[in-house]
Structures are given as structure tokens and as C-alpha cells.
Amino acid sequence: MEPQHGCRSRLTEREVRPVGPACRVVLAGRPGAGKGTQGARLAERLGVQYLSTGDLLRAEITARSPLGRAIEGVVNAGDLIPTALIMAMVDSCIDSDGYVLDGFPRTVEQAVAITAHEGLAPHIAIEIVVPAQVALSRLTSRGRSDDDVNIACRRLAVYDTETAPMLSYLAGHDLLRRVDGNDGPDLVERRVWAAVEPLIGTRRTHPANPVAFGLPTGTTAFVAAG
């Protein structure tokens, strides 16, 4: 089925170098932590889809689509868009054969939904950790419309109130690894890879959420809660 949204990977076929079976990775971290850079690099190494919900939403806004017009104010204010909308978008774009997800899940509700889905549940989540002050100075120097200092502060506050509990949820399910992001992109990339590499080609089963590398993956549909 054709996706309803402007789904695309940053990877070209030439760049894809599959190194193992389907791998599903969630990248988390404050806005400005470097998820975009690291997510694209990791997806290239793994030969899987890179999916950034922020990129998808910005493309909708730029295209002035009905969805884009509906969410523009919320995104530009630095707030999160409603869960049902983001889940419908992810549902139509995500590749069950493997992914690196950047910007999703961002709330406990979103994490519950994706981890409960056998065919889509992440094998690992990596938080790229940077201090709030570092994140703020990176955000305000890159010049995106939602990176104005007040909005950047709002986005960092939303991260603390909405996303930090989501990380606790993932940690409680033994899915979370933390990586120091307060260095240059190449060093951080090595740290991210060190967290992911041991899982390649191994089976990993969680009692509450059985997932295993190399097993056939299931349907891509999951239902938005609420």
C-alpha cells in the first residue's frame, strides 16, 4: 500500500550496506543531541530504513498538506502533536524489516504502543545524552524555525516532562542504553555502534516482549491508543 505521507529514507541504494538481519533501533535524546546525524549513519551501517518523525512532519508543513497545516502551529510552538496523528504517520511509513527511528517514541503512550507490537517492537533504544545547556547552544546555532531560543527552551522542557518518563519506561523493559553525546560526531558514532553491534546476529528475548533478530517480522499495522 502506498504510504499516505511523504515517507522517504535518507539512504540511497548505493549507500546501503546490510551487515546483518533486520534490526530495529530507537534513537532518543534531547533536541540537539545529534539524533539526525547519528541516525542516518547508523541506518546506513545496518542497511535499514532511517525514519525521522520530525523530518516527515516538516515535509508535510512545507508541502502545505492538510496534515501539515493542522500541525504547523503545534510544531512551531515546540509542543508535541497528538499521539493518534503521529502514530498513524509512523504506521504508514515504518519498515518492519528494520529501522532506525529518530524522534519516536517520545511519550510513554507511544512507547507502550510500539513495544507491544511484536512485529515492530524495537530491539534496543539508545539515548544520546547531552547536557541541556549544550543542547540549547547547538539548537540556537542551527537556525531552524522551531530553534528560536524560546521555542528551543520549550522543546527541551517538553523532553523533560514527556520524554524522560518514556526513557524510564524503556529502561524498565531493559531496552535502553545510554551513550555520551557530548563529543564530535565520529566519536559519538563509535559509541552508538558499540552499543548496537553486540546485538547483531544474536537472539534477544525479553519476557514481556519477545523479539529476536533474524526472525521473520510480522505486520506493520499497529493501532493508535487514544
Residue ranges in contact with ligand AMP by CB under 6 A: 31, 53-54, 57, 74-75, 78-81, 86, 103-104, 106, 110, 146, 155
Residue number of the CB closest to ligand AMP reads 54
Task: Output the smallest distance, CB 39 to ligand AMP, in A.
Answer: 10
Distance of CA 50 to the CA centre of its chain: 9
Gyration radius (Cα) of the chain, Å? 16
Residue 23 vs 81, nearer CB to ligand AMP: 81
Task: Output the smallest distance, CB 46 to ligand AMP, in A.
Answer: 20
Task: Output the smallest distance, CB 74 to ligand AMP, in A.
Answer: 6
Q: Are 56 and 75 in contact (CB under 8 A)?
A: no
Residue 75 vs 192, nearer CB to ligand AMP: 75
Task: Output the smallest distance, CB 138 to ligand AMP, in A.
Answer: 12
Give dist(CA 99, CA 52) in Å, integer. 10
Give dist(CA 55, CA 111) in Å, integer. 19
Residue 20 vs 41, nearer CB to ligand AMP: 41
Task: Output the smallest distance, CB 19 to ligand AMP, in A.
Answer: 26
Angle at 8 between CA 19 and CA 163, to 5 degrees: 85
Task: Output the smallest distance, CB 118 to ligand AMP, in A.
Answer: 21
Residue 20 vs 50, nearer CB to ligand AMP: 50
Residue 21 vs 54, nearer CB to ligand AMP: 54
Q: How far is CA 84 from CA 41, 154, 156, in A?
A: 29, 22, 22
Residue 38 vs 53, nearer CB to ligand AMP: 53
